[in-house]
Amino acid sequence: MSNTSAQKLDSIQNAAQTAFKAASSSKDLYDLKVQFLGKSGSLTEIMKEMASMSKEEKPLFGKKVNEVKQLLEAVYSEAEEALKKNEISAKMAAEELDLTLPGFARSKGSQHPVNMVIEEIFGIMSRLGYSIRTGPLIEKDYYNFEALNIPADHPARDMQDTFFIDKTHVLRTHTSPIQIHSLETEALPLRVIGTGPVFRCDSDISHLPNFHQIEALCVDEKVSMADLKGTISFFVREYFGAGLKTRFRPSFFPFTEPSAEVDCSCPICKGKGCSLCKHTGWIEIGGCGLVNPKVFHAAKIEYPKYQGFAFGFGIERMAIIKYGIEDIRLFPENDVRFLRQFVK
Q: How far is CA 342 from CA 112, 122, 258, in A?
A: 8, 18, 38
3-class secondary-structure state, position 334: coil
| DSSP for 63-94, written as a single string | HHHHHHHHHHHHHHHHHHHHHHHHHHHHHHHH
Of 50, 156, 268, 330, the one binding Zn ion by CB under 5 A = 268
Per-state percent for the chain, helix, strand, coil, to nearest 5: 45, 20, 35
Report whether 131 contacts 216 (CB < 8 A).
no
Give 72 or 277: the residue with its C-beta nearer to Zn ion.
Answer: 277
Our finding on whether 285 is near Zn ion (CB under 5 A) is no
Of 124, 269, 325, 330, the one binding Zn ion by CB under 5 A = 269
Q: How many CB atoms lie within 10 A of CB 129?
A: 10
Options 49-57, 144-152, 260-268, 321-329: segment touching Zn ion (CB under 5 A):
260-268
What residues between 298 and 327 interact with Zn ion by CB under 5 A?
Answer: none
Size of the site for Zn ion (CB under 5 A): 6
| DSSP for 96-162, written as a single string | ---TTS--PPPPPP---HHHHHHHHHHHHHHTTT-EEE---SEEEHHHHTGGGT--TT-GGGGGS--
Give 185 or 275: the residue with its C-beta nearer to Zn ion.
Answer: 275
Give 32 or 277: the residue with its C-beta nearer to Zn ion.
Answer: 277
CB of 279 to Zn ion, least distance (A): 7
Of 75, 274, 325, 330, the one binding Zn ion by CB under 5 A = 274
Give 135 or 271: the residue with its C-beta nearer to Zn ion.
Answer: 271
Give 164 or 323: the residue with its C-beta nearer to Zn ion.
Answer: 323
Which burial class, exposed, middle or buried, applies to 319 when counting CB atoms under 10 A from its CB (0-12, 13-18, 19+)? buried
CB of 241 to Zn ion, least distance (A): 13
Helix axes 26-37, 3-22, angle to 10 degrees: 170
Tell whether omega for the bond before 258 is within 30 degrees of 0, i.e. cis: yes
What residues between 74 and 113 interact with Zn ion by CB under 5 A?
Answer: none
Shortest CA distance to 308 belongs to which of 195, 231, 212? 231
CB of 127 to Zn ion, least distance (A): 27
CB of 243 to Zn ion, least distance (A): 14
Options 188-196, 212-220, 259-267, 334-342: segment touching Zn ion (CB under 5 A):
259-267
CB of 320 to Zn ion, least distance (A): 13
Of 266, 295, 298, 328, the one binding Zn ion by CB under 5 A = 266
CA distance 316 to 327: 10
Give 197 or 273: the residue with its C-beta nearer to Zn ion.
Answer: 273
Our finding on whether 284 is near Zn ion (CB under 5 A) is no
* Backbone angle region of 68, left / alpha / beta, with phi > 0 → left and psi within -120 to 50 → alpha: alpha
Our finding on whether 277 is near Zn ion (CB under 5 A) is yes
CB of 266 to Zn ion, least distance (A): 3
Positions touching Zn ion (CB under 5 A) are 266, 268-269, 274, 276-277
